[in-house]
Amino acid sequence: MGHDAHAPTEPRTPVPPVSDADRAAAVRPTGGHPAHDNTLQHYVLFNRLETWDADPGTGLAWEGQGWLGTDLNRVWLRSEGERSDGHTEAADLEVLYGRSIATWWDLVAGVRHDFQPGDAQTFAAIGVQGLAPMKFEVEATAYIGERGQTAARFEAEYELLLTNRLVLQPLVEINLFGKDDPERGIGAGLSTAEAGLRLRYEFTRQFAPYLGVVYERAFGDTADLRRDEFERVHDTRIVVGLRTWF
């Protein structure tokens, strides 16, 4: 079949230009309600609520965070700590303002208050947190204390789905300090590192008990201070805990 060289190139009935009424008719009516794309939301996560029974004695540890705000601006609360034989070994609370700076990444700034060890003190804090490539969740924060102390904390974790409900979670936390603080058992440089591997079963997404193993080690001057007090430089423990959020 051949082509008609004299076929028209324009439609027989011209297409009218799009009017404002046409555009309005193409949009689904909302019934007078505004779009809910920047409303106030909240979230609370206890990533670790765990206990153990080891040679030095029984212990309890927690690590959690929560936020209140919108997609772009949030107020964050973060806390972690540890108790051993009924005594609080470490406990802190951070109050931070977070601003979204990229997809899955927030810049945070605020204050951190250390209740233990030693005398309480307050730090100014600034850092970033978010989801790195390969879906690693990362927190990196720098601190400047009221007594001239400087510190940094880095934490990374990953969630490996073995089944729809069984999740393996590796986690690493590293703490560094700018100068010695013997009263608090802290030495300059790389102070402590902790690596954990926790296997949880999610009965629901909000309720997931777990079993894990945690290895913690002190380095440099911090290790020397522990040896002087006849404390352990490294420790391995089996933990049982719960991860929950709402």
- pLDDT per residue over 66-75, tens digit each? 999 999 999 9
| Residue-level pLDDT at 79 | 97
Assigned CATH for 39-245: 2.40.160.40
Please report which confidence band the pLDDT of residue 22 belongs to, taking 50, 70 and 90 as the band edges: confident
234-239 average pLDDT score: 94
| Residue-level pLDDT at 37 | 61
Instruction: Dig out the tokens for 201 from the structure.
Output: 């079963």
Highest mean pLDDT among 9-18, 21-30, 115-124: 115-124
| Residue-level pLDDT at 29 | 62
β-bridge mates for residue 102, sequence order: 105
- pLDDT per residue over 108-160, tens digit each? 999 999 998 888 999 999 999 999 988 899 999 999 998 889 999 999 999 99
49-54 average pLDDT score: 92
- pLDDT per residue over 194-219, tens digit each? 999 999 999 999 999 999 999 999 99
In this predicted structure, the answer to whether residue 11 has a pLDDT above a threshold of 70 is no
Please report which confidence band the pLDDT of residue 50 belongs to, taking 50, 70 and 90 as the band edges: very high
- Among residues of the chain, what percentage have pLDDT more than 70? 90
